[in-house]
Structure 1
């Protein structure tokens, strides 16, 4: 947090340059627009309404850090401008009510007030929890360093108009900017000095010194670093040797007891040993930059670096050559090697043009602040084959990949650090917090507006115009007409799945006499109302309807609501309709995504409310399920946080490349966020290459090749040396589907601790479990197999316990209960037992 924020309304360049060293500056959009703006040092006050959105976007793209606008303008900008770039301007004289939307749509508040009212500021701070609070007093009374400290202590920042700031000593009408900046600084040193870390422009440490208030004030006028010395008094470091520093940024740390000075170092270096840093010599990019700068000034004629500086064509060719080699690199070592070469030649071009690493970082920071983005497609010469080294992948104008080999990333477990191994266990998509924030408005709209919102979202996301989203039985026979071979296949699958799930049903009552006269029981009851989410979108999934509907039917659920996205004509696929009929669905909700989950969780006029929601789905569905299960208004639970599909295949020398290919591709085609993993046990380079060739060739023959291409890019091959190592990695990964392509695979099942479902041996493709073997294919993903089981009959049941105690049993158990209740200080609990022991008749 800044010590204070200056407000500049005039074009006072000397004051601007001095203030630019110590933090953000608030510029008046109407009166200081010609002052320079830097990415980290400018807030723009736009105190007029309505605002011009294009102007706002242009200012932010140019490098303005944040814009400050009134309440009316904030309402126009929320949802268009990122919250972290918006500050709400509130004039205390005209404060009105704010909505949650406003609170969540800004990252700060500027209070314009005639006086500093700490109680009012604290109340605003509590409402806008997590936002920065800035205070601009319109009073003519000069603020004091004490005001700055007090506001900072409650998390607020004082804004001081330039008319009250000066580079001269503090007077009755103006505050020296050094006094303002150093107001909160504290030190426990008797001499009043405070530690100061001196760093390069790129943040690399140069040395530790101790500053005084006088030395800090001196820098505002001269930008050189003044350092107090017992021998020399106040002096300018490096003045004798020429190794001086130009200060470019001054920052106060979070505890207000030390400073950081970022500097441009001149001469031999900061250290008195003529080194760049007091801590070590330079390394990495900093060393390369220093070396190239030195070579630019003094490289001998005929040296290679001199040739690069003098021959622009040679340098351009080397940059293009190294970029192409980096694109073709595949292993970690190759990529690092080729990237280092590219950095060398690219930085040579930069140094020749007077561009340093700090300039590149500033450019990156500036780009990161842009709120308008280009599409990011490659230029035509890089997509049409005209370059001397054409890229392996090509894209159409719409960005759809149309050719190029499909490859997985390969890692050798024996060469990886613990951190790198942990990275392999991460899924491509693990942004649940972000997704929950995205689905919140959808869930809230359905919760509050019911069927109207549901119809709107169905039109928007499913492209289906409906008058009603609910179908009730009996379902129209024409809606369930499927080809005969498909119907027979569904019937066989239904029989197998039902047989396996009926065997799981818990009908008997567990009865245990824990001590004489004390009988405890547990019995199962079906969950009354369940919601089954059957994904649609890129694939029709009657199999999921079977996997969810059959155990619900077997468990005896009274209401089964099946939700699935409609087709563009508003109908449901006849295969899903047929399954809904088989499993006895009590209603079909023609909706998908977060809106379907919300409708089942809260209920609408037409959609029945359910008690538990089951089913897989994309990130939106998963996030919505996680959101509603934590809402006490919904009173709904979920099966598990099931997300994108995944498979892990463990293969040894017995694995056939063709069957390995099929197991990998069968999951990769589910969606672009699916992930497949091949754990290869001592497989030769030729064996792995043959598997990759099979994957590439077969993927190109699939109708869903574009989906496969995108999911395979996120997928990995992990090389291991033993079955034990392979299964240890698998247990850490906790896959949804685990396939064992091993010698004597059934003997290895006992080693599996974490998996949704296991497929044993060469004749057990994962597809069988997906469709018709009998096991359920709704399984935990994203590593949740460590804690969750897949969906089963018991998932649709709850267990209730009971106990019955005789009079004799209470005589034996009662004293134990009373003692424990006394121990916990719960007298009424103890009395409930004692009164029955003393007078059994009152029972």
Structure 2
């Protein structure tokens, strides 16, 4: 037999109530009486609910069928705690508080009041505290802990009566109604008693910024993890998503969303290892949650349905639908591929395939959309790995830092920090040629960034007697993260270290993972650290290095800003510390995979174009490489493809290049305005102009990290030695962010000085605006001064 389960509270339950009295039992769920033929069916339902559980399960029966109450009392003798009929108050006004089992009895009550209900409840609890208070755990409707508080008999009575979070404040020695002053109120959903009856659990629905007085969701920080955290984020994205973001696109494109769900479901079935299964399941959960949120379905709705399915007594056979079952293809050449398989179109390049880019026409909207769609950032999915690392570094400091360096980098350190002056042995292997190359690059970067330095304050007289000014101050302590994974990156060190020095930062801290071979960082990075005046090099990478600089350890000073690129774990850690008010640490910009967009016309040198595309493709398999061709002939496109293939085969990182080019595209446009419009919408990190009279078209660029103008200006020049900065916004953030510059290492302070003449000129305006905002203190500060100066009209109120 199956039967519907209805929540005890909420609109669904309210809809089932009728004016006619019916059997009711205080408890967790409601059983629709119309689903039962007789009293025995009710008993069977109760037994199913009790199956595998030692606790007392309480029910509510709704519907218009008549039942023999006396017979039910006997049938349910060991199954429920209290039987209520003909209640004197609306049943939905009684909180879902669990009344503990009254041994061997069921009390039949014709009328019940909140007072008697509370009295019955309180008779079941006890406390051994001298102050007579009850230890109370507060959780939200997802069973996530919000905090630990205390309750008194008075606060419990008030909480049940008003159905809100009410507790007892030990510091103020009085009953405390949660959110009465802050607005962060709570609706009381249930009260539970623990197994020893000496502790309470309040389940509440929290409103406002959160439970904690520090403004966080709980007293243990914000609850941003897991499916509930994802649900919260997606609900926010429904309203506040950045224009053009992938999540916003999914909300708007139901066809794409459904295809992604099918694709990820298939990938989950194909996953083999533990890591693969976890990764693919996370992807599927993400897209499934987008569909739920888009249709107004909450996790609570899903969990309620899970509960209903768990309580079903009869089971169907459980076979899959025919279209999802594997078919025997041995003797059937006409068997069609599953629809989910067809939905996934992922180009791959084998070792014997030509390393060619895909080609689409600008009129092919679907193809263009696929070409310019960035890979999904999985930062939220890896936070469950990053959070423990950050917490350990915060709590344990240097030891945690060295433990992670041993675990992730295979280096057993005696100390996690290299102090300046750095030992000469760390420069071993550095050639004179490399020193000269670094010196040239450092000097050019210094020149360009020194020219950006604002030396004099900006001073403006806005009204006679009102002088406003703005002046820079260097950020005191900065941390520069230098990756050390698949490539040595001294260029990152100089691109961030030099501007920090030019800006006048008092302390510059480098962080880079040590080499497994000798436990040292590369001599090139050490050389740049010396040249830039770095005080320390933290011998660590990943989230642990970011955490060390953000919060500080015994050896690592806490910095005010962290800059530099890194993998997904570094990015997640940077985003975390930026949003943690306890860290008080900012970051340079959001980060994603590196990318280039090249605009080329028929006169472009195919070898130059190919080399520019490949210089970006070798960064990583998730790098994005796009060529926008202006009136390119088929012959020109073919020559470019051949040049890409030939040059790629000669590169040592050809395997990485092959995987990157597999998802790279040539987009064919008819004219220059169309090409630049496409580039501006994409907002590339690097924009290379391989077109005639390239400098004439720079004015058409609105969104780009950095522009490389003309045939002889490859991206490589900006990466190393031209003088511009190579730390640039990726992932389309060039719409909102600038690349790193001198001002990145500064903050700007404003000042104003108002004379009596100035007060006369602006004082009335200030008072007028303050009055309409209801801020009389603001208004009074002006009024008193003007009154003493004799500037107020006699009839002024």
TM-score (norm 1): 0.56
Choose the corresponding residue for 2:488, options 516, 540, 544: 540
CA offset at residue 770 of structure 1? 0.2
Give CA deviations for 1:384-425 in whole Å, capped at 9, x if unaligned.
xxxxxxx9966xxxxxxx5543343332220225xx654443
Equivalence for 2:591? 642
Distance 1:469 1:27, change over 3 A: farther
SS at match of 1:414: coil
Q: How does 1:284-303 map to 2 (within 5 A)?
A: none
Equivalent of 1:625 in 574, 591, 594: 574
Task: Indicate the residue corresponding to 1:656 in structure 2.
Answer: 605
Closer, same or farther in 2 for the Cα pair 1:570/1:403, shift >3 Å? farther
Whole-angstrom CA distance in 1 between matches of 2:559 and 2:676 = 39
Q: Deviations over 1:162-187 (max 9, x none)?
A: xxxxxxxxxxxxxxxxxxxxxxxxxx
User: What is the rounded CA distance, in whole Å, between the counterparts of 2:477 and 2:444 in structure 1?
Assistant: 24
**Alignment partners' CA distance in 2, 1:564 and 1:103:** 40
Per the alignment, residue 441 of structure 1 pairs with: 388
The question of whether the paired residues in 2 share the 8 Å contact of 1:527 and 1:557 is answered with yes
- 1:688 paired to 2:637: yes
Note if 1:473 corresponds to 2:420.
Answer: yes
Q: Check 1:787–1:528 CA distance in 2 against 1; reply closer, same or farther (3 A cut).
A: same
CA distance in 1, matches of 2:460, 2:728: 33
- Paired with 1:469 and 1:719, the residues of 2 have a C-alpha distance of 52
Cα gap change, 1:120 to 1:812, in 2 (>3 Å): closer
Tell me, yes or no, if the aligned pair for 2:355 and 2:645 is still in contact at 8 Å.
yes
Alignment of 1:755-770 (within 5 A): 755-770=704-719
Residue 838 of structure 1 corresponds to 787
Distance in 2 separating the partners of 1:452 and 1:493: 37
Judged with a 3 Å threshold, the aligned counterparts in structure 2 of structure 1 residues 135 and 489 are, in CA distance, closer, same or farther, namely same
- What residue number does 1:780 align with? 729
- 2:474 is aligned, of 523, 526, 536, to 526
Tell whether 2:645 aligns with 1:724: no
Give the counterpart of 1:743 among 692, 709, 715. 692
Residue 554 of structure 2 aligns with which residue?
Answer: 605
Give the drift of 1:93. 10
Question: 1:120, CA displacement in angstroms?
Answer: 14
Q: CA RMSD in A?
A: 4.6
Shift of residue 515, structure 1, vs aligned partner: 1.1
| 1:461 aligned onto 2:408 | yes
**1:672-722, Cα deviation, whole Å (9 max, x unpaired):** 221111112222233223222222232222211222222222322222222
Matched ranges for 1:15-414 at <5 A:
315=332, 317-318=333-334, 403-414=352-363
Query: How has the CA–CA distance of structure 1 residues 103 and 405 changed in structure 2, closer, same or farther, with 3 Å as cutoff?
Result: farther
Contact 2:482 2:489 in 1 (8 A): yes
Structure 2 CA distance, aligned partners of 1:312 and 1:454? 55
Deviation of 1:830 after TM superposition, in Å, equals 1.4
Q: Is the 8 A contact 2:413 2:519 kept in 1?
A: yes
User: Which 5+ residue runs of structure 1 have no aligned equivalent?
Assistant: 8-14, 32-91, 106-116, 138-150, 155-202, 204-251, 261-285, 290-308, 327-334, 344-390, 395-401
Shift of 1:485: 1.0
SS across alignment from 2:712: coil
Tell me the residue number matched to 1:675.
Answer: 624
Question: Which SS does the other structure have where 2:380 is aligned?
Answer: helix
Deviation of the 1:339 alpha carbon: 5.2
SS at the partner of 2:668? strand
Match of 2:110 in 1: none
- Any gaps of 5 or more consecutive residues in structure 2? 8-27, 31-37, 55-123, 127-134, 146-158, 167-177, 179-184, 194-202, 207-257, 259-295, 306-320, 792-797
8 Å CA contact 2:349–2:355 kept in 1: the answer is no
Mean CA deviation greater in 743-752 or 827-836: 827-836
Where 2:363 maps in the other structure, the secondary structure is: helix
- Among 489, 500, 516, which residue is 2:437 paired with? 489
Counterparts of 1:253 and 1:556 in 2: how far apart (Å)? Answer: 53
In the aligned structure 2, how far is the partner of 1:709 from the partner of 1:499? Answer: 38
Give yes or no for contact 1:6–1:26 (8 Å, CA) kept in 2. Answer: no
Q: 1:26 to 1:748 in 2, by over 3 A?
A: farther
